[in-house]
């Protein structure tokens, strides 16, 4: 089905807070293990201190058959806001018609008009090909579950204001624990199972070697540019998605990103 046919058959409209129940129903059909709720989507889409969700739906009569959503975030070293690619879902009976591509392209064109610099996402194996082949994304690498150094540069990492951090750590789906260090860095912890507790460090402006050593090592899930972990953990333990992808909207190159960790995307 070409784009002209899609616009004739389906109504393409911006994501709306009035449709939260419809999004929950759609996501539960497409991802039965996803513990989604209206409260969670309200938090994710409409309570972000940096702004509301940006994305579109495909609607047939009154039924939402496809949905694509991104939220604003900040990356240190990029002056404008960046979009984080999140939920994409199409009902099984409507897959293969090009709906996702139309919704994504409309989202990115709207983002360009609004002054966003880029789109970052963490895609699963099934969707990676669509992002890279059809939507112009670059595959930067894969996030690894590993034990090792937690250190990462501030430049090229996702950055958080105080309001952003409080909002991010209070997800209705799974709350994080966090602790501010004297040097301005933040230790984030997430209990993902009875046996697995992930740790990440959000870099501060002036890292202190003495304070940094205390949290130098830990179990984490991340990607670091040009670095490989010295201790991999079993892939079966890793949550999906895991492929880090990037699309520039204003010419900012993918090389600007230097790290990505589990708090930086909504895997939990």
pLDDT tens string 104-148? 999 999 999 999 999 999 998 889 999 999 999 999 999 988 888
Task: Write the DSSP string, 141-181.
Answer: EE-EEEEEE----STTSEE--HHHHHHHHT-SS-PPEEEE-
HSE of 170, CA atoms in CB hemisphere, 13 A: 12
Orientation of helix 20-30 relative to helix 38-46, angle to 10°: 110
Closest CA to 128 of 28, 227, 246: 246
- pTM recorded for the entire structure: 0.90
Closest CA to 118 of 94, 92, 137, 146: 137
pLDDT bracket for residue 211 (50, 70, 90)? very low
Q: Give, for 85, the enclosing helix (H) or strand (E).
A: strand 82-90
Residues 6+ apart with CB under 8 A from 193: none
pLDDT tens string 84-113? 999 999 999 999 999 999 999 999 999 999
* Cis preceding-peptide flag for 44 (omega within 30 of 0): no
CATH superfamily for 3-140 is Gcn5-related N-acetyltransferase (GNAT) (3.40.630.30)
Domain spans, the chain: 3-140, 145-238
Q: Hey, which residues does 64 pair with through a beta bridge?
A: 59
SS3 at position 37: coil
Instruction: Give the Cα-Cα-Cα angle 24, 20, 131 (nearest 5 degrees).
Output: 65
The pLDDT score that the predictor gives to residue 37 is 95
Q: How far apart are CA 137 and CA 125, in angstroms?
A: 14
Q: Hey, which residues does 248 pair with through a beta bridge?
A: 118
pLDDT bracket for residue 61 (50, 70, 90)? very high
């Amino acid at each position: 089905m070409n784009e002209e046919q899609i616009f004739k058959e389906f109504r393409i409209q911006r994501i709306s807070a009035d449709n939260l129940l419809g999004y929950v129903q759609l996501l539960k059909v497409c991802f039965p293990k996803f513990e989604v709720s209206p409260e969670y989507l309200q938090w994710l889409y409409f309570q972000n201190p940096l702004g509301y969700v940006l994305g579109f739906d495909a609607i047939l009569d009154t039924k939402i058959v496809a949905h694509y959503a991104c939220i604003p975030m900040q990356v240190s070293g990029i002056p404008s806001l960046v979009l984080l690619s999140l939920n994409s879902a199409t009902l099984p009976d409507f897959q293969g018609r090009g709906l996702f591509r139309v919704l994504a392209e409309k989202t990115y064109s709207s983002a360009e008009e609004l002054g966003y610099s880029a789109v970052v996402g963490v895609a699963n194996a099934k969707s990676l090909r669509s992002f890279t082949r059809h939507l112009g994304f670059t595959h930067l690498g894969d996030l690894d579950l590993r034990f090792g150094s937690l250190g990462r540069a501030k430049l090229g990492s996702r950055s958080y204001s105080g309001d952003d951090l409080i909002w991010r750590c209070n997800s209705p789906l799974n709350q994080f624990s966090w602790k501010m260090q004297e040097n301005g860095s933040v230790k984030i912890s997430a209990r993902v199972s009875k046996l697995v507790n992930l740790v990440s460090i959000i870099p501060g402006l002036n890292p202190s070697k003495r304070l940094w050593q205390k949290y130098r090592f830990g179990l984490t899930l991340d990607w670091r540019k040009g670095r490989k972990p010295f201790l991999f953990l079993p892939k079966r333990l890793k949550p999906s998605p895991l492929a880090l992808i990037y699309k520039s909207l204003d010419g900012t190159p993918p090389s600007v990103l230097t790290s990505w960790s589990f708090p930086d995307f909504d895997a939990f």
